[in-house]
Amino acid sequence: MAAPTLADVIFPEQANHNFSRILSDLKRSNLSITNRLKSILQDATFVDQVADTLNLPLVANERCGSWYISPERKAGSAYFKSTDGHTGQWKFSTRRLNLHLLELIGRNSGCIIVDSTRRGKRHPDALSKTVPTWCSVLNRVLFPGDPSCHELFVPPNTVSDSEASQISARLPEFVSSFLALAIDLAPLREHLKKPLRPLWVTHDDDLSLIAEGLSGGEISQRFHSVVCCTSSRRVAGTELSEGGYIQGAGDDTENWAHGLTAPIWWKHKDKLLETPEGDLPELIQNLVLMEGPAGDGPKEVRKVAPGIFVGALKAVPATIPGGTCLITVQPKLTDKSSWVKSPSYLEVGIGKNKNASRLLRDALPQICEFVSRFLEKSDAVEKKIVVLCETGKDLSIGIALAIYCWCFDSLGKVRTEEVKEGFNKTAIRVKLGHIMTAVPDANPNRATLQSVNSFLMDWRK
């Protein structure tokens, strides 16, 4: 028998290509919509167990957390970003203050914040670093005379001593940035009788031991517990070895969900789970068309500042009440010359998503001038400005902020003369803080706020 040649030992290029394609196909099939939804349901069962054992209300860390909490058990939403906890980029967000959680925490002596994370990680950065930073900053602000509660608590197996020390060194700076918002602290102090203390729960933890500690231990006596629950089970290797389970299955929905949202998932989960994989995209498309962006926006307008209200387009009135200036942001592109519908109605067509956020910069001069003319010419004793967008949480918030700064002075009174000074980030941030305190579930994206800052600070150009 002839000895094997080098070509016999080494796979030819075509074989390597086929092998790589087979692996890619296997990975793609494992990361199917069906496997994602089944994994989400498994993790949601674990979240239910945590809530039942610890007897605390569930709060979804958006956008991901709502996939793991059934609507009837969801007590609220939070907005803690993982990027605010990334190594070297630690931040206390003055844009997402989450102060609305304090009432819920005080009333129940704690809460459970639910999030998930991608393969291989024990906790998402939002739960291991962003939430602990938030707790420490608020403790320092609301309990300044009790240094014993000012410490930064982080999960020891996830955050190194070095990183914790670096975050701690920045806490005074974060406290100053919060205090600069000039938010009334008295109502916040009324909600909390004790400081905040973050704790962490994963699939690997013994829930009975944690419950025992919370029922009468030293932590429960001294603190309100902010339990950070990682809903997803940790997968050390690849998903191919997990029988279809996907860690963090609810993440990155833009890459797999075909428009499916958490509210639609929970409303139609049985039908979704029993539908063959090949038929799911069409089913999801039909459900989204039937339900609309379920749960994405408020059904009513909400006051965000003196005389300024925001809401979703579904709240558009059939007729505009007297003394009301209505601005609607349409999810389509229209010519600026067609925007003015009446002296009190402006229909702004700047499209959708991030493109709309970018186009907002060029739309704001016309919007603010329109509102200024309305405020100047309207004879109504009580004047209202109502701004509506698709969700009531993004573009409408940005426009409301621009109007609040451009048309109203620092005391909230209508400007009676032309603006003579530019704006600075601190002044804008203070008014944004007031808006976010009034509408805590608002979630303006960075591009929206960048457009507002650019317009206000470059107003002379």
Q: What is the pLDDT of residues 119-150, one digit of tens each?
A: 778 899 999 999 999 999 999 999 999 998 99
Burial of 21 (0-12, 13-18, 19+ CB in 10 A): exposed
Q: Which residues of 285-294 are buried (b: 16+ CB within 10 A; e: fewer)?
A: eebbeeeeeb
Global confidence as pTM: 0.81
As a whole number of angstroms, the distance between CA 285 and CA 272 comes to 12
| Domain 302-457 grouped into CATH 1.20.1250.20 | no
pLDDT at 419: 54
pLDDT at 5: 64
Burial of 197 (0-12, 13-18, 19+ CB in 10 A): buried
DSSP state of 128: I
Q: How do the domains of the chain map onto residue ranges?
A: 33-253, 257-295, 302-457
- Each of the 461 residues of the chain gets a pLDDT tens digit; together they read 566 665 655 656 665 555 455 444 444 556 789 999 999 999 999 999 999 999 999 999 998 999 999 999 999 999 999 999 898 899 999 888 999 999 999 999 999 999 998 877 889 999 999 999 999 999 999 999 999 899 999 998 889 999 999 999 999 999 999 999 989 999 999 999 899 999 999 999 999 888 888 877 778 889 999 999 999 998 876 655 566 889 989 888 888 888 899 999 999 999 999 999 999 999 998 988 887 654 455 668 899 998 999 999 887 777 777 889 999 999 999 999 999 999 999 999 999 888 999 999 999 999 999 999 999 887 777 889 999 999 899 999 999 999 999 988 776 777 766 554 567 888 898 899 889 888 888 889 889 999 999 999 875 44
DSSP state of 146: -
C-alpha distances out from residue 163 to 84, 85, 103, 137, 366, Å: 14, 10, 31, 17, 47
pLDDT at 300: 81
pLDDT at 459: 54
pLDDT at 289: 81
As a whole number of angstroms, the distance between CA 379 and CA 324 comes to 11
pLDDT at 422: 61
CB 58 within 8 A of CB 69: yes
Sheet with 58-61, edge to edge strand ranges: 74-78, 58-61, 110-115, 224-230, 196-201
Place of tokens 């394609």: 21
The backbone torsions φ and ψ at residue 328, rounded to the nearest 5 degrees and listed phi first, read: -110, 140
Return the closest-CA partner of residue 47 out of 31, 62, 67, 32. Answer: 67
CB 283 within 8 A of CB 307: no
pLDDT at 461: 45
Token pair for 47: 């979240």
38: how many CB neighbours lie within 10 A of its CB? Answer: 16
Token pair for 22: 């087979």
